[in-house]
Amino acid sequence: MIQNIHLEKITELLKYKSGDPLLFNTSLFLILFFLFLVIYNLFKNNKRARIISLIVFSFYFYYKSTEYFAAILIVSAVINFFFGKWIASTDSFPIKRIFLALALILNLTLLGYFKYTNFLLQAISDLRGTEFNPIAIFLPIGISFYTFKALTYIFDIYYDTLKPTKNFLDFVLYLSFFPNVLMGPIDRAADFLPQINKELFISKDDLGRATFLICSGLLKTVILSSYLEDNFIGRIFEFPLRYTGVENLLAIYAYAIRLYCDFSGYTDLAIGISLFLGFKIMDNFNSPFKATSIADFWRRWHISFSKWLLDYLFKPVQISLRRWKIFGNIIGLIVTFFICGLWHGAGWNFILWGLYFGVLMSIALFLQKPKERLYKALKIHNTKFLRFFQIIITFHFIAFSFLLFRLNDLQIAKDMLSQIFEFFHGEVFLQFMEKMPLIFGLIVIGFISHFFPVKIENAIKRAVTALPLAGKIILLAFIIWLITQFKSADIQPFIYFQF
Amino acid sequence: MISQELKKVILNELNLDDYDIQDETMAPEVPGWDSLNHVNIILAVEKFFSVRFKSYEVLRLKNVGDLQKLLDSKLGK
């Protein structure tokens, strides 16, 4: 009897549960991953078995988040594998272009159907003035990410920088690779495929880096993200008018840190886990709030995605419109950032968020030469003094843009801004520090650690790498213990999941 | 082999006195050859040699050698 109950409980845990994807910072995942690592290492010398076991685990992981919609992943793999083959098989450019167009249409229709149907239909009925009842369409998490991964394969073959792989399973592994199937980084087929057939070898540096990233990822996602959200940010954003302007401003700053820690923390975990499996995935973040301009910000935030947009959208548009000079660049920017916003979500607030950056970047293009002349005349060109102000100003442009990112009810954004500008009450800041020391402390820690010079970060990485294996295990165990102290009853899912 | 004229057009656009440009030279290696200047260089080449490139032809270029080959094909060489 007791055995039956245990078996039932375990099956319940392992089965798909709606709204409960397998998050990296849960004990269930950690246990399953550890068990899988054991099997994976048993197949150390058998490449085929290793790859197949990884595919099986990846599909189980994806099934846990999307149930039978995991089949879509297979559909995507088949479509893109064959189109890649066909594009490369002909020397005729018109035919290559037809295959490319078809592949694009198929991929974007798949993505569009699941993600944008209701948004599109709502927009049409708004235009018509009719009522609209949303259709129940399940959104398979991660579809935005792996669709874009598949497109890197297609585009790179079309631009002749990649030869298609003859091995269908290799391509399936690339698309379904569980560390980044749900939330990126959007790594390139050209970088991932060659790693599949290498011998499994994890250097000491890789192990050290992986340990560091997993610890950092766990701390960021649980303590600096979920805890801050549940115990401070969420409250202010729900009823901004109940709080003073200074608290609203702090909530905006905290939200910026929260968003960064959530996403970059998950990325850290994804990269760390990949390293344990013997794969190197590209970085996705490079201290984005150190950016001195919007352009610089997008070279540091969601790097895999912005590189994708640059290589496969902006550059082609820019080259096509080259005869329109600066206006060609501007159209390129607006189109690219429109898509950037739209990719993040099927909502007008996301589109506005993207266009906000497109417009700012376009203005920056016009102002580039005059600004440089001004700075040189004032003798502040390339000084730390200038850099300091550029960072502060850029950060505020970014942090306030996140309001659009988070809220589809713009009234709340208006309320927050009105509190900040009309009801600031700076003196409340001292009371805040006194009454909520942990929250305040976490915000400060979040910012200070973000602005650590690279030297300190590298020193910490080296220290972790130098630890013996037992030391690394103890460190991980300690971090896991620490985050369980902070975990609330409900785990906040990663924000980027809805994409 | 990169023709002297092509080399001159590129150096002129980048405001460089000299740089060793070979077949295998790639854009990121040359000082100032970023994505904004890339467009200017392509335009300058088209203007100087009175040719028109198709966009996908430009996007497939991996190094200056490819650009030379593309240019030659347009000039009927």
Q: Would A454 be classed as within a structural domain?
A: yes
Beta carbons within 8 Å of A111's beta carbon, 6+ residues apart = A143, A144, A147
A159 vs B: CB within 8 A = yes
Q: Would A229 be classed as within a structural domain?
A: yes
Chain B contacts of A93, Cβ < 8 Å?
56
Q: Would A10 be classed as within a structural domain?
A: no
B28 vs A: CB within 8 A = no
pTM, rounded to two decimals: 0.89
Rg (CA), chain B: 11
The A residues from 281 to 310 touching B (CB cutoff 8 Å) are 310
| Same domain for A154 and A274 | no
Beta carbons within 8 Å of A37's beta carbon, 6+ residues apart = A276, A277
Q: How many other C-beta atoms lie within 10 A of the C-beta of residue A124?
A: 11
Q: Peptide bond before A185: cis, by omega within 30 degrees of 0?
A: yes
| Same domain for A26 and A114 | yes
Q: Would A49 be classed as within a structural domain?
A: yes
ipTM value for the complex: 0.88
Percent of chain A with pLDDT over 90: 54
A95 vs B: CB within 8 A = no
Chain A contacts of B28, Cβ < 8 Å?
none
Residue from A157, A319, A366 to probe the interface with B (highest B Cβ count within 10 Å): A319
Nearest CA to A175 out of A71, A286, A316, A297 is that of A71
The B residues from 49 to 68 touching A (CB cutoff 8 Å) are 55-56, 58-60, 62
Q: How far apart are CA A247 and CA A385, in angstroms?
A: 28
| Same domain for A94 and A188 | yes
| Same domain for A344 and A209 | yes
A430-474 pLDDT, tens digit each: 888 888 888 889 999 999 989 988 899 899 999 999 999 899 999
Q: Is A44 helix (H, G, I), strand (E, B) or coil?
A: coil
Q: Would A4 be classed as within a structural domain?
A: no
- Sign of torsion, CA A92 A95 A99 A105? positive
Confidence of residue A492 (pLDDT cuts 50, 70, 90): very low
Residue from B55, B57, B60, B69 to probe the interface with A (highest A Cβ count within 10 Å): B55
Beta carbons within 8 Å of A479's beta carbon, 6+ residues apart = A214, A215, A218, A219
Mean pLDDT of A130-159: 90
| Same domain for A446 and A337 | yes
Contact A167, A77 (CB under 8 A): no
A295-325 pLDDT, tens digit each: 999 999 999 999 999 999 999 999 999 989 8
Contact A25, A483 (CB under 8 A): yes
| Residues of the domain holding A486 | 204-498
Q: Would A424 be classed as within a structural domain?
A: yes
| Same domain for A278 and A353 | yes
Chain B contacts of A316, Cβ < 8 Å?
55, 59
A320 vs B: CB within 8 A = yes
Mean pLDDT of B68-76: 91
Q: Would A12 be classed as within a structural domain?
A: no
Q: Is the pLDDT of residue A482 over 90?
A: no
Q: Provide the number of structural domains found in chain A.
A: 2
Contact A498, A345 (CB under 8 A): yes
Distance, in angstroms, between B3 CA and closest chain A CA?
Answer: 23
Q: How far apart are CA A355 and CA A312, in angstroms?
A: 19
Q: In the CATH scheme, what is the code of domain B4-74?
A: 1.10.1200.10
Mean pLDDT of A63-89: 92
Q: Considering A196, A219, A241, which residue would you say is the last residue of a domain?
A: A196
Between chains, do A329 and B36 touch, taking CB under 8 Å as contact? yes
Q: What is the pLDDT of residue A491?
A: 44
Q: Where are the domains of chain B?
A: 4-74
| Same domain for A239 and A122 | no
